[in-house]
Chains A and B, each alone.
Chain A
């Protein structure tokens, strides 16, 4: 992806510069998603609500990381570092979920007999 979009400045360096127009498009999308998430809080969909709120927040975060934080246009090595950061977060949440759902099995051994 960086191959097709990378621009070279007048010194031949390949540090990609994102245009103000691109930033403008991202901030418009972020505002749309913000209004959407506020609107959805007023609609009672039961257990679906938290998943919708999280999905919208993740979409906003992805937009910010990829464009505002330049990751879409970064080198593959940088992208691996970024993915690593979020992968560790996945480990953190994964381990806690395993602990949370398996706690009852330890204090109540019949659960797995």
Chain B
């Protein structure tokens, strides 16, 4: 029996289902090593959070909770629009697919731009790790007496973790441009959507990393904000 999708099956696969499942498995192998890559960074974060709890709470409070919260909303919504794009690709809704990926791209770039302004504020306050690092406290004496070297260590991890995350966002934006170009040329249809679906996995994975980064970096202890 001849399926419309037969021509899409490479010669070394039995059928389209086997081909699709192989692609999904390959993507998950890639994501498994991504989990371990970010896992190593989180492990370093947790070890030093246990060692220096006061410095971690003080340094965390220097991060902008409003920009961080805004970016969390942006990233969650972008995951939703990407999920809708995958559904549109699977059901052959070409226009919705293109719109969904465009909105996802716009939200992803918004995230990176906001991140840039967060980095710039830290740069202006001299809170970039290195010989010129100064602990610029904005929390009054709530966290008085913390060791600035430990604060600096937090910011090392902050910049590496959010920097690697932002790099993943930028790579994701590049891949989205590629998918948009393919979609513009009519590449996708109800039988050919795996590139969109697998990119969706990547995008959601990057979202998950932020789901952990936001509370671990920005929200360690904010109760001081309520004390005026």
Contact = CB atoms under 8 A, between A and B. Distances in A.
Given A78-B25, A84-B32, A38 B219 contact: yes
A42 B211 contact: no
A65 interface: yes
Interface string A48-65: 011001101100110011
Interface string B190-223: 1100000100110011011001101110111111
29 contacts: A9-B190, A11-B191, A12-B3, A17-B87, A17-B90, A23-B87, A27-B76, A34-B73, A41-B223, A42-B222, A42-B223, A42-B226, A50-B220, A53-B215, A57-B211, A64-B204, A64-B208, A65-B208, A68-B200, A69-B200, A69-B204, A74-B24, A78-B21, A84-B32, A85-B28, A88-B36, A89-B35, A92-B43, A100-B50
Contacts of A27: 76-77, 79-80, 83
Interface string A22-58: 0110110011001001101111100001100110110
B69 interface: yes
Contacts of B84: 20, 23
B10 interface: no
Contacts of B220: 41, 49-50
Contact of A100 (B16, B47, B225): B47
A25 to B, nearest CB: 11
A92 B36 contact: yes
Nearest to B213: A57
Nearest to A53: B215
A51 to B, nearest CB: 11
Given A41-B221, A53-B216, A18 B83 contact: yes
Nearest to B50: A100
Interface of A: 9, 11-15, 17-20, 23-24, 26-27, 30-31, 34, 37-38, 40-44, 49-50, 53-54, 56-57, 60-61, 64-65, 68-70, 74-75, 77-78, 81-82, 84-86, 88-89, 92-93, 96, 100
B17 A14 contact: yes
Interface residues of B, number: 59
Contact of A41 (B49, B76, B86, B219): B219
Tell me the dominant secondary structure on chain B's binding face.
helix
Contact of A18 (B39, B77, B87): B87
Given A18-B86, A38-B69, 16 more contacts: A13-B16, A15-B17, A20-B84, A27-B79, A37-B214, A41-B219, A42-B226, A57-B215, A57-B216, A64-B79, A69-B201, A70-B197, A81-B28, A81-B32, A96-B47, A100-B50
A60 to B, nearest CB: 5
Nearest to B56: A50
B162 interface: no
Given A53-B216, A57-B211, A84-B32, A92 B77 contact: no
Contacts of A34: 72-73, 76
Best-buried of B16, B91, B215 by chain A (most CB within 10 Å) = B215
